Amino acid sequence: MQERAARTRQTVLEAAADEFAERGYEGASLQRVAWRAATSIGALTFHFRNKTALADEVRTTGRDRFGRCLAELAPAADPLRELRTLIATLARLAHEDRFVRAARRLEADPPEGAPPLAETWLPVLRDLLDRAHGAHRLRPGVAPEDAVAMLAHLAEGAMAAHGTPRDAAWDTLWDSVWDVVLHGLAADRGEGGGGNERDGRGDRTDGDDPGEHGGRGDRTDDDQGVRGVRGDRGDRRDADDRGNRGGRAGRGDGDDRG
């Protein structure tokens, strides 16, 4: 009996999440929730005495889903990479989890004293940006608090697009957006302690290029010398040709006179 009651309660809760996600608190009705759950109003009110109690439970479940998912995120050595994973996870939850979608929709009509849903993920985002700043992974001039505001808006926008189908085009668009964001956030080559590997490549490039250019310059001087030798040879050939022509001309005059 208890197992059956637990199944009914969960079914009602899932139906309520779909109802709240689609219609919000004001537009939702217990009759439609009962219809979605294929149960009676009496069975519904046995578990949740009114719509407010049902909405509170849906909201709490959505927050818990957020919290569990964030706790399971695999840490990354690069905090910027972990930030990307965080925002992508938030977007995925808003696309795939009915309780997260409902909790976000219910924020439009929160009960007094209800903490914002962002309190579950915003501290994580802020901590990652602080780590990136401490590791000199942020571009000079980018203040962590400004980056928090920008990425929070990006995360909210990604979650708000939950009606967009998650397909290859969506993933490609998300990658492009993140590339632009990363270009504005991350330190360039030669900037910050996090770019040591890139700095090394930069040093090697700077060291190699002058030598290569210098070698080409030396070879250019040699080429000029070669061209000078070739010019001398050409001058000698011209002189010989003129001498030969002069000799032939002299012999011709003598023969004619003879």
b vs e for 183-216, b when ≥16 Cβ sit within 10 Å of the residue's Cβ?
eebbbeeebbebbeeeeeeeeeeeeeeeeeeeee
Q: What type of residue sits at position 26?
A: E
Q: What's the pLDDT at 225?
A: 42
Residue labelled with tokens 């919000």: 24
Question: Would you say 20 and 55 are in contact if contact means Cβ atoms under 8 Å apart?
Answer: yes
Q: What's the pLDDT at 190?
A: 56
Q: What is the pLDDT of residues 43-70, one digit of tens each?
A: 999 999 999 999 999 999 999 998 999 8
Per-residue pLDDT of the chain (258 residues; tens, 9 = 90+): 689 999 999 999 999 999 999 999 999 999 999 999 999 999 999 999 999 999 999 999 999 998 999 898 888 889 999 999 999 999 989 889 999 999 999 987 766 667 888 999 999 999 999 999 999 999 999 999 999 999 999 999 888 875 556 667 777 888 888 889 988 999 875 555 444 433 322 333 333 333 333 333 343 444 444 344 344 444 444 444 444 444 444 444 444 443
Q: What's the pLDDT at 226?
A: 38
Q: What's the pLDDT at 126?
A: 95
- Answer yes or no: pTM beyond 0.75: no
Among 121, 136, 232, 251, CA closest to 193? 136
Q: What's the pLDDT at 219?
A: 39
Q: What is the pLDDT of residues 201-232, one digit of tens each?
A: 233 333 333 333 333 334 344 444 434 434 44
3-state secondary structure of 168: helix
Q: What's the pLDDT at 124?
A: 94
Q: What's the pLDDT at 149?
A: 95
Q: What's the pLDDT at 1?
A: 61
Question: Would you say 178 and 226 are in contact if contact means Cβ atoms under 8 Å apart?
Answer: no
Residue 138 forms beta bridges with which residues?
A: 186
Among 102, 92, 110, CA closest to 17? 102
Residue labelled with tokens 């001398």: 232
